[in-house]
Structure 1
C-alpha cells in the first residue's frame, strides 16, 4: 500500500478502513455488479449506521431504506438482521415476529454458517447440531431455517426432513417466503412456482421479484418475467444486473457461428501433471465449434502421462492445426501463457483464447466470444460465467470491478456472492474490469507485444486478473459474456473450495501483496478509471 503496509481484508473488511463517502461508493459499485445477499446487506447497513456522520449524510436515508428492506426479505428468520430493521422502522409486525422467535433459541455458533462450504467437517458438525435441535423441538423454526441454508449450500432442493416439518402457525407465512427463497435461489422453478401465488399475495420487495422473474423465464413466460423485473427496478433503480438482464430478455443475444470460420483464432492450453483433467478438457474442446482455429498445448514440465494424453488427442482435431510444446520444467502459469502467446503462428492470429486444462465448454463458446468482439470493437478481452465442477449449478466467478481506491487500500469487488447458484440473473453481456482467466479470449491487435502476463505471480494466482486490469488502465475494454457457462474443475472435491496447505496459503497471500503493491502505484489511474465508469 502507499504507506508501505499490506492489509489483507476478509469479505467487506475494507469498509473499516475508509470513510462514509467511500462506503457509499463501494455500495454503489457493489449494486452495479451484484444483487446483494444477506451478509452484504447486514454489513453495509451496520457500517453506515455506526458512522457518526451518517445522520447528516444526504445518501443515508435512501440506502438505509433499501438495505433494510432487502435484509428483512432475505432473512425472514435472521434475528440479528430483523432486530436491526425493527430498530430502524419500528414495524409492529416485526416486533411481534421477534417476540415469538425468542422462544426458539440457538447457540450463536449455529447462527453463523461462515466456513461451512470450505470445511466439510464444520458443515457436518453444524448439520448434526441443528438436526438434533429439530428432533428435540420439531417446531423449531430457526433451526429449520438454518438447516435449510445448509441444504442450499449443498444444492439439495427437497431435503427429506422438510416434508415432515410443520412450522408454528404464527410463522407459516414467513416459512412460505423462506421456502420460496430456497427453491427459487436454486433455480428450481418447478417447486418455487406453485407457492408463488401465496408469496405474491404478501408485500413484495425486489428480492422476491428478482427470483420470481427467473422462474418465469424458465417456464417460458417472458412477459411475466419482465413485469417482475420492471417492478423490481422501480423499487430499487440501483440494480444494474436487473437492467442488463431485462435488456437481454428484450433482445436476446445470438451467437454468429459464421465468425468462427471467418476469424483467425488460436486456442491455447497449458498443463502441469493433470493428465486426466487434460484428457477430459481436450475431448470436450474437440466437441465444440472451433472452425479452423489452431490449437496449441503446452506441457509445463509434466512428469505424468500428460504427453501421451496430448498426443492421443491429436486425432480429435483433424481440421485444426494442432501441436504440442513440451518444456523440461514447470515455468508457471504466467510464463506458460507468455510462451504460447509468443509463438509466431499465434501472433499471426486475430484472437487468442487461453483455456485452463480442467474446463468444460458449451459448443458455441467461441462463437459467442467472437460475436462480442465484433459487436464491441474496442474490447480487448472477453470472459465467461464460471461455475464449479463439483456443483455446476453454483457460480464460481462472474466478473470484478474496482470497489475502493484509497491511500489505505485498493479493492476489487467479489467475483460473485458466497454460495450463489446460477438462477439466470447474470445471463447478459457487460463491460467490467476483470473476468476469470480459465476461459479467456484476447484481441491480438490490442497486444502489439503479445500477451504479457506478469511472471512475478508464478506459479499461478492473480496473473489473469492483473493482465485484465493492466489492459483496463491502458484504455482497453474487458467484457463478461454470461451466455457462455464454463465448468471449472479446479475446486472439485472436499467441498466447493479446496483445502489449502500452508505453502499454498503463503503463495496466495504473497501474490496478493505483490498485486496490491502494484495497484498502489497505479492508484491515480484506478481513480480515473472509476470516475470514467461513473463510480
Structure 2
C-alpha cells in the first residue's frame, strides 16, 4: 500500500494526519474508508484495503474487545483479511465476549474510581462466568489505568479462557509499564510468534529500543511503516530515531529563565523546585511568582533561594491570587527577565527530568521558527497515563451538553483526544508542529512572546488561556512545536476528587464557552487548515529525509 498524503480525500487525510492509533479514532477512520469503498469508483479497492487494515489495527489496540472482534470476523467473511494464525484468536475473543444485561453498577464503580471495590466485583463476576472475557477486559482496563500491574499479571495467569498469545501480549504490557523492557520484549516476541500483527511489532520495537537495541528496533519499525504507511506515529518515531533527533540534547542559545507561578501548593512546589534544582540548567535563572499563598509556600521559596543562590533564583510576591493568565503576563514583563533570550513556563506541580532544558533546546534547534515548544505530559502517580501530547484541531458542529440552568451550544472547534485512548507505549515519542502544546511545561523566545501578546485575562482564574494563546498564533500561520522526547510527570489532581469540584467544573465550562465564541467559525476553520497543512508538510518532508 502506498499513501499519497496530498492525494487522500479530506475525510481520511484530516484524521490520519492527527494520528494513526487509538481504538475509537481507528474505528471512525475504518468506517469512513469502508464507506468510501462502498461507493465504488477508481479508488474503491484502495479504500477497502485501508479500511480493513484500520479495523484490524483498532482490534490490535484493544485485543480483548469482543465487539471489534465481531466486526472483524464479519468483514473477513466478505473480504478475507485475517491471517490463518490470527483468525482463531479473534474468533475466541468474540465468542468469549458476554456483556452483562445491566452494567449500571459496574459503570458507577468505574466512574467513582473505587479500585478495590471494582476489582472485588470483577473477581466475583469472573467466578460466576469463568469463560467470559468481558470481565477480563474490564479488569485489565482498571488495572492499567490505576497502575495495578501485579493484579493484572495474577488475573492473566489464572484466566484459562484467555488465548495464549494475548496473555503474552498483556504480560509484555505490564513488564513495559514497570520499565522492564527486556522482559517486555521476550513476552511480545512470544506473542508475535503466534499472532503476527504490525502493531505488536511496533510494541516490540519500542521495548528493544529502550533496552538498548536500536538497530533491531529500527528494522522492526521499518517493517511496520511498510505494512502500515498510513500510521503517522510510526513514521514520525522511525524518522526521529534514524536521524538522531530522539537523542539530541543541547541547551538553548543565550541566557533564559524558568518561570513558575504558585498558590497554596507548598508540598508540590517543593518537589517541583527540587527537580529544577537537580536539572542541567547551566547558569540560567529561576523566577517564581507567589500568588498570595497563605500556606507554607513563602518558607519553601525562601529555603530554595538559599540553596540555589540569590543570583540564580528570584521571588516575586503578590498580596493576592491574580489568576493564571495575569500571573503569566506579570512574569513575561518582569524586569528580572530583561536579559533573557528565552523563558520556560513550568507548573508548580510538574516534575522535570534532568535533561528537560536540553530537550527543549533540541526542539528549538530543529524548529527555530515555532511560536512555542511543548512536551509530553503524563500522570505522576501512573506515568503510563497520558495527559497531554501534540493537540490538533477538529471541525466544529458538535453540540456540547450544558450544566443545569445553562443552554447547550454548538462548538466551533474541538481538539484531538487520541492520547486519551492509549497508554504511553511510545506512540507519541516524536517531534512535530501542532495546533497547541500543554501549558504545564512550555517554552518561548521572549521576543516572540512579547510580540505575540499576553495571555487573555478573560480566562481567569485558570483554564484554556494557554490554548487560546497558541490558537491566536495558529490563526496567523505560526504554530507551536511538540517534542515527545521530553516527558514531564504532572501531579495535578485527577479522577473522583477533581470531577466532584463543581466550582472547578463550572469555571472550565464557562471558559471553554468563551474560547468557542472568541473567534468566528471561519477563523477556526483557518486555524484547522493551517494545522493540517503544517502536519502534512512535516510528514512529507520527513518521509524523504535521509538517515543520519
Name the TM-score, length of structure 1 as normaliser.
0.84
Structure 2 CA distance for aligned equivalents of residues 134 and 145 of structure 1: 11
Q: Could you list the per-position Cα deviations for residues 390-423 of structure 1 after superposition, in whole angstroms to 9, with x for gaps in the alignment? A: 22343211110123267973222127233x4333
Q: 1:17 maps to what in 2? A: none
Equivalence map 1:331-410=2 (5 Å): 331-404=322-395, 409-410=412-413
**In the alignment, which residue of structure 2 is the partner of 1:469?**
471
Structure 1 320/422 Cα, relative in aligned 2: closer, same or farther at 3 Å? farther
SS of the counterpart of 2:286?
Answer: strand
Contact 1:379–1:443 (Cα < 8 Å) also in 2 = no
Q: Which residue of 2 aligns with 1:439?
A: 441
Residue 512 of structure 1 aligns to a residue whose secondary structure is helix
SS, match of residue 188 in structure 2:
helix
- 1:457 CA drift (Å): 0.8
Q: 1:48 and 1:38 mapped to 2: Cα distance?
A: 15
Distance verdict in 2 for CA 1:225–1:255, change over 3 Å = closer
* In the alignment, structure 1 residue 151 sits paired with structure 2 residue 161: no
CA contact (8 A) 2:286 2:312 kept: yes
2:269 to 278, 285, 294: 278
Q: Give the structure, 1 or 2, with the largest relative contact order (CA under 8 Å, sep 6 or more).
A: 1
Deviation of 1:356 after TM superposition, in Å, equals 1.0
The residue number in structure 2 matching 1:6 is none
Question: 1:138·1:165 contact (CA, 8 Å) conserved in 2?
Answer: no
CA RMSD in angstroms comes to: 3.3
1:411 equivalent in structure 2:
414
Aligned to 1:237: 229
State the 1:289 CA deviation: 2.4
1:515 aligned partner: 515
CA distance in 1, matches of 2:394, 2:333: 34
Rounded to whole Å, the distance in 2 between the matches of 1:226 and 1:409 is: 41
CA contact (8 A) 1:205 1:235 kept: no
Distance in structure 2 (CA, Å) of the matches to 1:482 and 1:79 = 32
Is the 2:346–2:440 Cα contact (8 Å) retained in structure 1? yes
Cα separation, 1, equivalents of 2:216 and 2:101: 41
CA distance in 2, matches of 1:528, 1:320: 46
Q: Note closer, same or farther for the CA distance 1:294–1:534 as it changes in structure 2 (3 Å cut).
A: closer
Deviations 1:211-235 (A, max 9, x none): 1111111222222211211111111
Structure 1 residues not aligned, in runs of 5+: 1-19
SS of equivalent to 2:480: strand
CA distance in 2, matches of 1:111, 1:209: 37
Q: 8 Å contact 2:188–2:200 — kept in the other structure?
A: no
The aligned residue for residue 286 of structure 2 is 295
Please say if residues 267 and 295 of structure 1, whose CA atoms lie closer than 8 Å, have aligned partners that are also in contact: yes
Q: Count residues in correspondence.
A: 505
Tell me how far apart the structure 1 counterparts of residues 257 and 108 of structure 2 sit (CA, whole Å): 40
Q: CA deviation at 1:470?
A: 1.5
Residues 26 and 404 in structure 1, CA contact (< 8 A), matched pair in contact too: no
Equivalent position of 2:25 in the other structure: 40
Match of 2:16 among 28, 32, 45: 28
- In structure 2, the CA distance between the partners of 1:466 and 1:114, relative to structure 1 (3 Å rule), is farther
User: What are the superposed Cα offsets for residues 184-207 of structure 1, whole Å, 9 maximum, x if unpaired?
Assistant: 577643443333343222352322
Q: Is the 8 A contact 2:287 2:316 kept in 1?
A: yes
Q: 1:119 to 1:293 in 2, by over 3 A?
A: same
Worse-superposed segment, 399-408 or 82-91: 399-408
CA contact (8 A) 1:292 1:319 kept: no
Is the 2:37–2:48 contact (alpha carbons within 8 Å) kept by the matching residues of 1? no
Query: Helix, strand or coil for the counterpart of 1:155?
Result: coil
Please tell me whether residue 84 in structure 1 is matched to residue 71 in structure 2. Answer: yes
- Aligned residue runs from structure 1 range 53-92, under 5 A: 55-56=39-40, 58=43, 60-90=47-77
Superposition deviation, residue 528 in structure 1: 4.0
CA contact (8 A) 1:393 1:421 kept: yes
CA distance in 2 between counterparts of 1:99 and 1:217 reads 32
Q: Give TM-score scaled by structure 2 length.
A: 0.82
Partner of 1:499: 499
- Once residues 290 and 475 of structure 2 are traced to their aligned partners in structure 1, the CA distance between those partners, rounded to angstroms, is 32
SS state at 1:416 partner: helix
Check 1:107–1:462 CA distance in 2 against 1; reply closer, same or farther (3 A cut).
Answer: same
**CA offsets, 1:15-69, max 9 Å, x none?**
xxxxx976434422332xxx422233334445666x6995347574244112221
Distance, in Å, in 2 between the alignment partners of 1:485 and 1:385 is 5
Q: Which shows bigger deviation, 509-518 or 93-102?
A: 93-102
What do the CA deviations read for 1:425-471 (whole angstroms, capped 9, x no partner)? 33332222211111111012223447511111111111111112222
In structure 1, how many angstroms separate the alpha carbons of the residues matched to 2:275 and 2:528? 41
Tell me which moved more, 289-298 or 183-192.
Answer: 183-192
Question: 2:462 & 2:426 partners in 1: Cα distance?
Answer: 30
SS of the residue aligned with 2:429?
coil
The 2-side partners of 1:236 and 1:142 are apart by 29
Alpha-carbon distance between aligned partners in 2 of 1:432 and 1:112, rounded to the nearest angstrom: 40
SS, match of residue 303 in structure 1: coil
Secondary structure, counterpart of 1:354 in structure 2: strand
1:205 maps to: 197
